[in-house]
Amino acid sequence: MAVIRSKLKDVMENHDPKLSIRKLAKDVNYHFDSIRRMYKDEMIQYPRDLLLKLCLYFNVQPGQLIRIDEDEHNDRTIDECESIDHKEDGNDNGTDTTENL
C-alpha cells in the first residue's frame, strides 16, 4: 500500500547542512516537536499551516516536502483500505430521516 513520507530531512540538508530542527522551528514559528516528527518521518498528519510555512521558508512546493512511497510492511490493497475508511460511523443507520420532516 502506498504511504506518504516526509522529505524534510533531505530538504533541510540541501538548504543548509548545519540547519538544526530547533532553529528551523524557531525560524518558522512552529512547535519544535511537530518539526522533529516531520523530520524523522513520524508524523501521521501534515498540518497545512506547517506545510505552507516550510514551503515559504525553503522556497519549495509541497511535493518537495512529501512523497508517496510503497509501504513494504503493509500488504493491504487500496480497496481494503477504502472499505475500512468508509465503514459506518453509527450516524448512518440506513434510514432516510427526511421522511419524518
In a domain, 98, yes or no: no
In a domain, 93, yes or no: no
Q: Is residue 8 classed exposed, middle or buried when 0-12, 13-18 and 19+ CB atoms within 10 A define those classes?
A: buried
Residues 39, 21: Cα–Cα separation, whole Å = 8
Look up the CATH number of the domain holding residue 39.
Answer: 1.10.260.40
Single-letter amino acid code for the residue at 25: A
Higher per-residue confidence, 81 vs 69: 69
Residues 54 and 12: beta-carbon distance below 8 Å: no
In a domain, 96, yes or no: no
Summary mean pLDDT of the chain: 82
Q: Could you tell me the end-to-end alpha-carbon distance of the chain, in angstroms, rounded to an integer?
A: 44
Give the pLDDT confidence of 38-54 residue by residue, as tens digits: 999 999 999 999 999 99
In a domain, 51, yes or no: yes
Q: Which domain holds residue 53?
A: 2-84
Supply the pLDDT for residue 87: 44
The model's confidence at residue 65, banded by pLDDT at 50, 70 and 90, is very high
In a domain, 21, yes or no: yes
Give the pLDDT confidence of 2-37 residue by residue, as tens digits: 999 999 999 999 999 999 999 999 999 999 999 999
Q: How many domains does the chain have?
A: 1
In a domain, 8, yes or no: yes
Residue 72 C-beta-side C-alpha neighbours within 13 Å: 0
